[in-house]
Amino acid sequence: MDTVRMDKWLWAARFFKTRALSSKACELGRIESNGVTAKAARDVKVGDTLRVKNDGGEFVVEVLALDDARGPAARAQALYAEIEESKQMRLKVAAERKAAMQFEVLPAAKPMGRDRRVLNKFRGRG
């Protein structure tokens, strides 16, 4: 196996829970391969550098191995190596997000349905 489809590799490497989500991320331009926005059908080769933006943050990884089947997490982690700068940046962003939560004012009661939708929309989740 010399190449694998981008969406299959992202799914096998456990960046996304389903292959449909990995295809959607490619459509939305959240995946870059060697500095170029990647489509779902683009081939991934060993040695490629990928920039993956998902709910966990932004990852910059180098492809070490290819696989088109989802397996255990240990096998998935062997498919790539995260670049040290990427790891440091993700940890920094997580620490900033955690520090910002200290200053967040919590409401006195649980939000109602409409209030929750407004909050989610404001936070960019809706």
Domain ranges of the chain: 4-122
Region 117-126: mean pLDDT is 85
- Give the torsion through C-alpha atoms of 106, 109, 114, 119, to 10 deg: 10
4-122: CATH topology is 3.10.290
Could you report the per-residue pLDDT of 1-53, keeping only the tens digit for each? 789 999 999 999 999 999 999 999 999 999 999 999 999 999 999 999 999 99
CA–CA dist 104, 36 (Å, integer) = 38
Beta-ladder partners of 58:
53
Helix spans in 13-72 (H): 19-27
> Considering the chain, what is the average pLDDT of its residues?
91
Does the predicted TM-score (pTM) go above 0.85? Answer: no
